[in-house]
Structure 1
Amino acid sequence: MITGIEHTGIMVSDMEKSILFYKDILGLEFIDRFDHTSVDVNLAFLGLDGKVLVELIEGYPGEVTNEGKVHHLAFSVLNIEEKFKLLQEKGVKLKDQEITELPNGKYFFFYGPDEESLEFFEAK
């Protein structure tokens, strides 16, 4: 039986840059990092309150491909207008130039260091 989402894995080309983005820009906490020697990749785990939300994966042969990325990763936030302004101030590339309002909440999309599509969503 499925009880929830464990985490989302995202292929990255620069582990240090991606850790800093998810930690310093998005506010996730760094939880753990190690080399997965059996498949020769580096892994880093970030999340909230000790719960892993994002697994960063670096080192598979070849470049990061669209196939290796997820479509998007959505984070629940409070005060989405403040988050929108903060990302603008930090120079984060925005996909949406304004916040969209839906019957169930508000959202906007932006990009991570490897052009991964990310979303902030504030429920009503």
Structure 2
Amino acid sequence: MAIRKLEHTGVMVNNLEESIDFYTRILGMELNGILEHNQPGMRLAFLAFSGQTAELELIEGYPSAVASEGQVHHLAFTVDDIEAEAERLRALGVTFTDPEITTLRNQARYIFFTGPNGEQLELFQPTTQA
């Protein structure tokens, strides 16, 4: 098969520095680099968790009306202890969409919160840790 891995997920943001701060300081990702795009006024930042290869691409200055390219509904982050991580984020001022953690039928658990640009983010605790 030619497709080998998930490379990155792109998320449009209003303020690159504010978003980098959120994803590094609050969520614990590492900044791998910032790139000035060929299109004037457009900048990209690439972030990942330590030891991981899939990256989050933050895109500032992207044309706003590009419906044919679709949208990202949410990004999910795997956690070992969802209660502890939710409390840590609350202490840092993160706003949760619903204050309650949802438990699925298979006992996996999740809770949604918002990023600095209103993007929908999810803490996800799988049934079995990978």
TM-score, scaled relative to structure 2: 0.84
| Per-residue Cα deviation, 1:58-95 (whole angstroms, up to 9, x for no partner) | 012459x9x87511011111111111101111111111
Q: 1:94 maps to which residue?
A: 96
Structure 1 runs of 4+ with >3 Å offset: none
| Shift in Å, 1:113 | 0.4
Q: Residues 86-120 of structure 1, C-alpha deviation per residue, up to 9 Å, x if partnerless?
A: 11111111112111111141110000000000011
What is the RMSD of the two structures over their aligned residues, measured on CA atoms? 2.1
- Residues 27-84 of structure 1, C-alpha deviations (whole Å, 9 max, x = no match): 1111111101x22210000002262420000012459x9x875110111111111111
Q: How many residues align?
A: 122
| Equivalences for residues 74-85 of structure 1 within 5 A | 74-85=76-87
Q: Which runs of 5+ in 2 are unaligned?
A: none
Separation of aligned partners in 1, 2:103 and 2:28: 23
Measure, in 1, the Cα distance between the counterparts of 2:26 and 2:73.
20
Q: How does 1:1-124 map to 2 (within 5 A)?
A: 1=1, 2-36=3-37, 38-40=38-40, 41-48=42-49, 49=51, 51-61=53-63, 69-102=71-104, 103-124=106-127
Aligned 8 A contact 1:100 1:108 in 2: yes
User: Identity of paired residues, percent?
Assistant: 47
On the 8 A contact 1:28/1:46 being kept in 2, the answer is yes
- Do 2:97 and 2:114's aligned partners in 1 also have CA atoms closer than 8 Å? yes
Quick one: distance in 1 between partners of 2:80 and 2:52?
20
**Maintained 8 Å contact 1:43/1:58:** yes
- Normalising to structure 1: TM-score of the pair? 0.88
Secondary structure of the structure 1 residue equivalent to 2:99: coil
Alignment gaps of 5+ in structure 1:
none
**In proportion to residue count, which structure has more strand?**
1
Q: For residues 70 and 93 of structure 2, what CA distance do their matches in structure 1 show?
A: 25
